[in-house]
Chains A and B, each alone.
Chain A
C-alpha cells in the first residue's frame, strides 16, 4: 500500500508540490506571468518591431463571448478582404455565377460586368420605366426576401441588402418595370 507523499504536506510558505526553496523570495520580484510565459524567453529578441502577439489565457480578460464577437465584427467592417459574394442567376442559363459586389463602385460597373458575364444586354435604368425596352431586367432578393428591381435604392444601401441577383427575361420583367 503506497504511503501518502508526506512532502506534499510539509509546511512551507511557497506553492505546495514544488521543490525549489527560492520560491520564498519576495513577491515584488515575482514575475510569473502565466499569460506571457512564452514571452519571457523571447524578451531579449524584442529590440525592434512589434511585440509578438501574447499567448491568450482562457477566459482572460473576463469579457463575455457575445461582447468579444460583436467588437470583432465592428472593428474590421470591410477590411478583412472576405468579399461580398452573391449568386447571380439568369433565366435560361444552365448554371449560376457568383460575383463580389465589393468589386464594383456603382450600378453602371455592376451592370456592365453582368452584361459581359452573361453575354446579354440589360440597358439603362430609369426610375419611371425600369429597364423597359431591354431584353433583360436585373433583379435582386433583399434581406426581407422580396424581389426588387436593381437601381431603385442608393448603391451603398443596395450592396448591404442584396442577398442574390437574378437576371429576369424581358417578358417577365415587364411587370417590375411598369410600377
Chain B
C-alpha cells in the first residue's frame, strides 16, 4: 500500500511526528519509508557526541535543520573529568558547514566550543536562528561578537551556565541596528559589563523578546529602563539585586515590574537585598518559575515572597529557606511541581541553617503535584523517606544529597536502604534517582526489583560488593545512564552484565575497584562499546593487571574509537590497550585466560551470593549466567 501513496503525502504525514522514537519506528517499516523519512528528518538529538560520527549522521539525514548534542559525562560538572578529555564540537561544525547550509539551530551541552567554531557557525549558516550553549566552555566573548554581528535572523542566544572567557562586554554592541529578531537572550553567566545603552537599544528594537536573562553586572537601578522597553517579557533574569536603599530606586522598580503583565519566570537575584523584594510583589501571582538559588536572603523574607506566588510550579532556592520556610511553601504553593534546595555552606563542618529532612517531608505532604526534587541536607531518616514515598507516588525525579558521605539514618543509625527502597517501590514512574547516605547492597536489590522505569541513576560512597552493581545492571530495564563514584564495585558484575551496556547510553565508574584486566576484557569482547580508561597516573599497563583504574567511561557507539583522546585516556581494544598513538603491549593469551577464569569464578560467585538473598528466582539466575557469560 505504501507504493500507492506519493512521497509527498507520506512526507506530510511524517511531518507531524516530532518524537525521535516515532520517527525511528517509522523508518523501520520498509525501505521506502526509511528513505522518505530520512530525507524529511529535520531535528536530530545526539545524547553522546561520540556515539556516532558527523559523516554517518550527514549520510543518513541530508536535510537537518536543528542539532542537539551532548558531550562530557554528567560528572564533569563536579570536576571529575580532567581538562582536555574531549567533547569538541568543531569537527561537527566543520562537517555541517558543508552539508547543512540551511541549518538553523544548534544546542549543545557540556561541549568544548571554540571561537573558531562560533565564527564558522556565523559564516556558514545564513538562516541561523538558535544557539544554546549549556555548560559549555572554550570560547570567548569574541566568538559571541561574531554570532551577534553575522546572524541576521538570530532568535535565541542562550549561554546558560557556560564558562566563557570574558574579554570585554563589547560583544553585545555587535548586534547590528537592523537586528530585531531576538526572542531569547541569556547572558547570565558572563562577568563583564556590557554597554548598557547598547543593551537598552537592542531590547527596545526586538518586539518579540520573551526571555531576557541579564548578568550580575547590570545594576538594579537600570533594570526599569529595560523593563519599560520590554513589557512583554515572559522570563526575566535580573542582574545584581541590590542598590542603595533609596525610595526613588524602589518606586521606579516597583512601577517597572507592574508594567510586565506577562512575566512567568524570574531568576538572577545575585547579592539580593530584602528591601527590594516587595518591588516584585505585583507580578508574583503570575509567576510559575522562581530561581532564588543565588539569593542569600533569610527565611522570613523568602517566605514573604514565596507565599505570594500562588501559582508557583518550580522553585530553586538556597537552604536559607529552612524547614519553616518549606512548611510555608507547602501551605501556599499547591501547584508546585519541582523543588531544588541548594546548600549555602556545602563545605562547612556544622549545619549553618535549620534545614532538615522535615522540610522535604512538609513539601511532600502539602504539594500534591510534586514530581521533581533536588535536595541538599545534613540529616535524613528512613522514616522520612518512607513518608515522602508514600505521599508522592508520582515522583519522577528524586535527587537527594546528604552532605556527609555515608551518613546513616540519624535516628536509628541504620543504613538508608529501607528509605530509598520505599522510594523506588512506591514511585513507579521514577526516571531519575540520585542517592547518598549509608547504603548497602540491599538498596540495590530494591532498585533492581522495582525501578523498572529508571533511566538515570547516580551512586556515591554506597554498596558493599559487586552484587550491588549486578542488581542494578540486571534489574533496571530502562536504565540509560549509570554514574558511580567511590563504590566497592569491581570486575565481576561489570563483566557479567557486559551485554547490558550496549542497551545504555553510558556508564561512568570512578574510584571503584574495576581492574585494568577487566577493562581490557570488556573492550575486547564488546566491539560496539568504547571502553575508555581515564588514568592520570600514566599508562595502565605500567601497573599490574589487577590494579584498579582511576576512572572508567563506557559507552555504545557506531563510530568506533574516537580520534581525539588525550594522553590520559586509553581505549580498551581487542587484545591491547590502545592509547592515543595506537600502541599497546599485552599478549592475547593472557587476556583470554583472564576471561575464562573470570567466567568460571563468576558462575560460582553468583550462585553463592544469591543463595543468601531470599525470593530470588533460581531460573533467572541460570538464564542470566548463560546470557551474560561469554567464555
Contact = CB atoms under 8 A, between A and B. Distances in A.
* Chains A and B belong together in one complex: yes
Interface of A: 1-6, 8-11, 13-17, 27-28, 30-35, 50-51, 53-54, 56-68, 70-71, 74-75, 143-144, 154, 156-157
Interface string B517-536: 10000000000000000000
Nearest to B294: A70
Contacts of B286: none
Contacts of B604: 11
A58 to B, nearest CB: 6
Contact of B465 (A14, A28, A63): A14
Interface of B: 75, 77-80, 161, 163, 189, 193, 196, 217, 244, 270-271, 293-294, 296, 342-347, 349-350, 376, 401, 403-406, 408, 413-415, 438, 440-441, 460-461, 464-467, 485-486, 488, 490-492, 513, 515, 517, 544-546, 548, 587, 589-590, 593-594, 597-598, 601, 604-605, 608-609
B77 A62 contact: yes
A63 B161 CA distance: 13
A99 B342 CA distance: 38
Nearest to A154: B244
A4 B406 contact: no
A57 B548 contact: no
A61 B404 CA distance: 8
B78 A1 contact: no
Nearest to A56: B347
A25 B579 CA distance: 40
A70 B464 contact: no
Contact of B161 (A3, A58, A64): A64
Nearest to B80: A59
B135 to A, nearest CB: 8
Given A1-B590, A17-B515, A56-B347, A65 B79 contact: yes
Nearest to B467: A13
B413 A28 contact: yes
A117 B167 CA distance: 35
Contacts of A143: 193, 217
A60 B403 CA distance: 8
Given A13-B464, A35-B405, A66 B189 contact: yes
Contact of A15 (B296, B465, B598): B465
A96 B589 CA distance: 74
20 contacts: A1-B587, A4-B590, A8-B515, A17-B548, A30-B438, A32-B406, A34-B486, A35-B404, A56-B347, A57-B486, A60-B405, A60-B460, A61-B343, A62-B77, A65-B79, A67-B342, A71-B345, A74-B271, A75-B345, A143-B193
A75 B349 CA distance: 16
Nearest to A66: B161
Counting chain B CB atoms within 10 Å of each CB, which of A6, A27, A28 scores highest? A27
B611 to A, nearest CB: 12
A15 B490 contact: yes
B222 to A, nearest CB: 11
A47 to B, nearest CB: 16
A58 B408 CA distance: 21
A62 B342 CA distance: 10
A61 B590 contact: no
